[in-house]
Amino acid sequence: MRLTDRVAIITGAAGGIGKATALAFAREGARLVVADVDEQGVERTRHELGGTPCHSRAARVDVTNRTHVEAMVTQAVDAFGKIDILVNNAGGGGGVSGLMLSDEEWDRIIELNLKSQFMCTRAVVPHMESRGHGRIVNISSNAGKYRSNVGTIGGISYAAAKGGVLQFTRSSAYLLGRKGITINAIAPGSVLTDAGHREYNSMDPERRDRVIRETPLNRFAQPSEIAEIAVFLASDDASYVTGATILASGGWCSS
């Protein structure tokens, strides 16, 4: 198993990519702190981990709240004695998608998708640095690299935040590499999470067909397919990979 005895924190683990990543990490032997603002959802994830050879803790965490983030890291260290891996997965869109969103809505999306990754990374780095080893995986989006359709779940603020994640990842790699820590990003395209299903079902048939037709693999992704990339980046198989973005969009791109 590729993650035997590694201790990982996964945010946004109540469902979707986060939950799939928790299950994949558990199968690879990791010990986990699964975190989410949805307390019942993250407890359900932890319950499902009971079928794997995995020790785990569940934590209710608002990743936009510094106190919550620091408590999550303390919980992981107290439970398992170290932190090897951080998966910054928590995020989301919603609200007004164009330029007329309020200052508060802009700030909410940026804090949830970008600032949270900075705060979680800042909190775990001292624990990784002290041991000279760490793996950080940031979940971004194809919307952060290519033109975003502002009528979708994301919109302008979401695209800006996810683009920031990619630059945060590249810039951090230079500093963290000298501490023995790798940091990489995954930029998924359309994924059939709960939100992805809602977006898919809300599309008119013509637009849905066009999106699928423009995707070379001719379908949306399953959360488990993104999770397996996270396993690779968190494992020793990716020991010489840092500052990279892995596109997982089924081949879709738009400039």
In which residue are the tokens 């919980």 written?
75
Give the span between the Cα atoms of 105 and 110, in whole angstroms: 9
Dist. CA 114–CA 108, nearest whole Å:
10
Is 200 annotated as catalytic? no
Tens-place pLDDT, residues 180-235: 999 999 999 889 876 766 666 667 777 777 878 888 898 889 999 999 999 999 99
> What CA–CA distance (Å, rounded) separates 120 from 195?
23
* Residues 228-252: tens digit of each pLDDT: 999 999 999 999 999 999 999 898 8
Q: What order of strands is seen across the sheet that includes strand 7-11? A: 56-60, 31-36, 7-11, 85-88, 134-139, 181-188, 245-248
Using one digit for the tens of pLDDT, what is the confidence trace for 60-109? 999 999 999 999 999 999 999 999 999 999 999 866 667 778 899 999 99
Contact call for residues 114 and 165 (beta carbons, < 8 A): yes
Q: Are 144 and 164 in contact (CB under 8 A)?
A: yes
Q: Which residues of 171-203 are buried (b: 16+ CB within 10 A; e: fewer)?
A: ebbeebeebebbbbbbbbbbbbbebbeebeeee
**What is the DSSP-derived secondary structure letter of residue 3?**
T
Please, what are the domains in the chain?
A: 7-191+224-247 (3.40.50.720)
In the three-class reduction of DSSP (H, G, I as helix; E, B as strand; rest coil), residue 246 is classed as strand
